[in-house]
Structure 1
């Protein structure tokens, strides 16, 4: 799933999965935290087993290691490298080196230990998130009592990153038509998926089998011990909620204060996750459409235009781009076609503060034949810099998702058969998201996870946060995860955007801050707006 979070705006990294071509197919990820069962229909019912309380002797050297901290990045931040076994089943076979960073507590009050943060993805750099936002933007009272800590998960950013394609290859990949009209275009899409998968296999063969969410969660427990914390305090957003819930399933009695914001549902198959998310983006688009027509500069209609009419006009614009791309002024010669335009629109669905920018970009494209604005939104989503370089977000996203769950579809014919369901979920985005769900069919390693419930019996109260019109992690997922976790408290934000903490709701922030600082979870089913 692609879900990172940036300060104030959940753009490229806050993507809970639909990163069109590269990640929308991977949409979401869920992985077994122990025993798993064969899913019935679109869900699985069995709870995973927790790991033994005692540390296996083969892992003791990892749990007892000392980190060599040094100043890094912005003033006040420290970085270190932590070792973990590449393969937990064979710890003696080799190590993986994981990047860790922290910002020490700033206050003089009672210290509460470490607070580990993860912004989502999979593939989002937690270290960058710490340095750019959490370490300086989290509430001052939280930063006063906690050392804010981040670790790039295995295969991500500074932690032995998965690599698949170079910049030019990624440019071609992100521009591939994901709504094929005939067999030739279908073959072209499949060829790009295979090329991406083959690139990952060629450049990161040994790593691809060991970037699962279960392994990342086990790495988190080593970090907890190395930091000297008897229990884990954690705030995870989007995919970070699945990572946190997986940890709770593995180590329920080592959970202290845990916030899962923009929750995922680990009990669902990839197909159901993708279908639910497709409906989530449609919900967000409906909210955007209603807002857009209230503004005089809305290029998709004026006062009295219905959301359905707005959607029809946007689809017509996408169809036009399918055959007539727009100039963008890009120094590398890229033009705005249907794929990049759709990604740009999806990017703006993550945060309502992006809606004015989207209106401007659509106005420029539809009325002035200028695709630069939508291209910029798309580049933000894919984390492409001006010099044509991509971070490894997309590569890591695919690697984790394709390992965590069996693919949603394995053949183009399966996609074609399911197109009506996706189109019903979202007339605007459904076809593209359905075809994007084919990506993992060609992955070079077999998945190790399956859908499963996470109950985490014995864990301290866990706060699960859901936003009613969240596009990337639909509210029904938060409701489901809260029902699964034995100690969950569901905190609801009635509003727009992806995730809720730190996005402007005093009610949400107060409830979470009180929990983090005093251990008092919000009242059951508390709602904020």
Structure 2
């Protein structure tokens, strides 16, 4: 197996694509339709194993592939349910989404319970996880990417110069062509707007007048789209680690570099206090210098198959959680010392198991491209990306030359068939936004942007913490209590709130 693909494969999921018939006839909020009720049964074996010891129920719900032809081809969506633990207190369903786009959410309820989701929430809600359209057990899509494909990550490689942008353009163009060649007619229908329409079909199939929602990362874009398209059917909406809109565009991708600039200092402070153990620098400034030195060295002479691009990607991914700092420090130390054996062991990833005959990495990369490229137009001129890389290499030296680099969306074979969902300010005040002050993939700016777009419908909880994910996934008591009060008793803060570090 290609070593670089093996290392990058697990990181590709972090982090975080013209129809014959136009979808312009599809209403933003479709009329209520008759949907068969859900019949719950046993979950697929891989979901059972991932959720253990929590026991979930699973079911399939059919939805139109193309909402412009609602009676046409149907695809299946697979759902999971963790029933409300106290039926006497039950108030409805809480739909969950882990982000991506491309992440499986069938076992997300079990993960949140394991992380300490308060029983006051699990008493009152059926927790509904799902594989959204195109993902996993829900009529999956595939571009046919393999472990040795040159396209192996949803974040482009760091471009050290203009020639690197040109080289990446060839990879991106081939990836887009591969998706077109492997498309069975479903790929162009994988969009945020259609997935939001799916959520409303699921709500109807569950027999609920309204649905509450908890989404992380890209899941905030999906939740914002649902709350905007179906405002009167949205109940209590929690959007955690916001990307800033109802879609991810080129500006959103470039904000990853801003997030890394704001988050690396937390790791640098941590590592500086442990200099005697890891030798990365006695001050945060020295640790940052070690990063830049090591990245430049690996650009010229990789260690154990890890070049400067993979080193930067590894660092970006390990900034998502402070619990990953020790492994990140070990990796830096091994690379600084040129210890190939240690570096190889620290970055090894297990072989993935195909589900339904489909590689999970291929599936995740495919859905990421489909949603991202189908939602909004991306620039097609390679020079636009060259200029962006030059700009961001200067203003965001840690990672800007990666996130500004060209993606397959520049060569995507399908034009968006409808505009991105506009955030609706006219609905109920029911959107609670959660955002860490320092987050590599969703910087605080994303929360501020969505707060402005929602206007009085939303309140923003800013948390003095580092990492990706706040509610149940973080450690801040203020954010936990504020969100739980909202979900349990509907107490929305009267104004935006700042939560100090615990």
TM-score, normalization by structure 2: 0.85
Q: Does 1:179 align with 2:150?
A: no
Q: Out of 430, 448, 452, which is 1:483 matched to? A: 452
Cα distance in 2 for residues equivalent to 1:297 and 1:159: 50
- Residue 414 (structure 2) aligns with: 445
**What stretches of structure 2 of length at least 5 have no aligned partner?**
1-9, 18-22
- Structure 1 counterpart of 2:328: 358
Q: How far apart in 1 are the matches of 2:12 and 2:41?
A: 27
Shift of 1:379: 5.2
CA deviation digits over 1:112-157, x for unaligned, max 9? 1211110111001011323444588522221122111112111112
- Stretch deviating more after TM superposition (410-419 or 290-299): 290-299
C-alpha change, 1:96 and 1:483, in structure 2 (3 Å) is same
Aligned to 1:31: none
- When structure 1 is superposed on structure 2, of 71-80 and 342-351 the one drifting more is 71-80
Q: Once the 2 structures are TM-superposed, how far is the Cα of residue 64 of structure 1 from its aligned partner? A: 2.4
Which residue pairs with 2:438 in the alignment?
A: 469
Is there any run of 5+ residues in structure 1 with no aligned partner, and where? 1-10, 18-25, 27-33, 36-47, 328-334
Equivalences, count: 470
Shift of 1:434: 1.5
Cα shift at 1:269:
7.8
Q: How does 1:296-445 map to 2 (within 5 A)?
A: 296-297=275-276, 301-304=280-283, 306=285, 309-327=286-304, 335-370=305-340, 373=343, 385=352, 390-391=360-361, 392-407=363-378, 409-435=379-405, 437-445=406-414
Q: Separation in 2 of the partners of 1:359 and 1:66?
A: 51
Alpha-carbon distance in structure 2 between the residues aligned to 1:310 and 1:450: 44
User: Secondary structure, in 3 states, of the residue corresponding to 1:489?
Assistant: strand
Would the aligned equivalents of 1:237 and 1:262 in 2 still touch at CA under 8 Å? yes
Instruction: Give the aligned partner of residue 238 of structure 2.
Output: 259
The 5 A counterparts of 1:29-108 are 51=29, 54-55=31-32, 60=33, 63-72=34-43, 73=48, 74=52, 76-108=55-87
Call closer, same or farther: CA 1:274–1:297 in 2, change over 3 Å. Answer: farther
Matched, 1:516 2:484: no
Q: How is 1:153-168 mapped onto 2 (pairs within 5 angstroms)?
A: 153-168=132-147
Q: 1:12 to 1:126 in 2, by over 3 A?
A: farther
**Which residue is 1:3 aligned to?**
none
Q: Is the 8 A contact 1:236 1:261 kept in 2?
A: yes
Name 2:426's counterpart in structure 1.
457
Distance 1:372 1:190, change over 3 A: farther
**Contact 1:318 1:342 (C-alpha < 8 Å) held by counterparts:** yes
Instruction: Provide the C-alpha distance between the structure 1 equivalents of 2:282 and 2:293, rounded to a whole number of angstroms.
Output: 20
In the other structure, the counterpart of 1:500 is: 470
Structure 1 residue 372: Cα displacement:
5.8
Cα gap change, 1:170/1:386 in structure 2, threshold over 3 Å: closer, same or farther? farther
Say if 1:491 and 1:341 are closer, same or farther in 2 by CA, change over 3 A.
same
Cα pair 1:13 1:120 within 8 Å, conserved? no
State how far apart, in whole Å, the 1-side matches of 2:329 and 2:446 are.
Answer: 29
CA–CA distance in structure 2, aligned partners of residues 426 and 243 of structure 1: 28
Query: Which moves more between the two structures, 117-126 or 311-320?
Result: 311-320
Instruction: Give the secondary-structure state (helix, strand or coil) at the position aligned to 1:344.
Output: helix
Partner residue in 1 for 2:95: 116
Per-residue CA deviation, residues 269-288 of structure 1 (Å, 9 max, x unaligned), is: 82322232211111111222
Residue 422 (structure 1) shift: 1.0
Task: Tell me which of 206, 216, 240 is aligned to 2:195.
Answer: 216
**How many Å apart are 1:413 and its aligned residue?**
1.7
1: CA distance between counterparts of 2:222 and 2:272?
A: 39
SS in 2 for 1:126: coil
> What corresponds to 2:173 in structure 1?
194
The 2-side partners of 1:116 and 1:471 are apart by 25
Counterpart for residue 129 of structure 1: 108
For 1:332-359, what per-residue CA distance to the aligned partner results, in whole angstroms no more than 9, with x for missing partners? xxx2222222211111111122111100
**CA deviation after TM superposition for structure 1 residue 82, in Å:** 0.6
Q: TM-score, normalised by structure 1?
A: 0.81
- Report the secondary structure of 2:261's partner residue: helix
Does the CA-based 8 Å contact 2:180-2:413 persist in structure 1?
yes
